[in-house]
Amino acid sequence: MRGRGVAQSMVVALADRARLAGCDLLYLVTRLLDTPQELYRKMGFGDQFCFDSFLSSRSL
């Protein structure tokens, strides 16, 4: 599905809904090397901070 504008359409639609609901701040949480990073930048999003997360499926 790459190159069809699906991701951009989804982000635009969700941003429009958020604005209509009165939100004035919109942020994305993505993986550091996520493929559409450049798309997000072109849409006006910028890097703010990075963090690592660790998940475990077993009991500790």
pLDDT at 30: 85
Give me the residue spans of the domains in the chain: 6-42
pLDDT at 60 over 70: no
Residue in this structure with the two tokens 């699906």, named with its chain if needed = 6
pLDDT at 57: 85
pLDDT digits (tens, 9 = 90+) for 6-52: 889 999 999 999 999 999 999 888 887 878 888 889 999 988 888 77
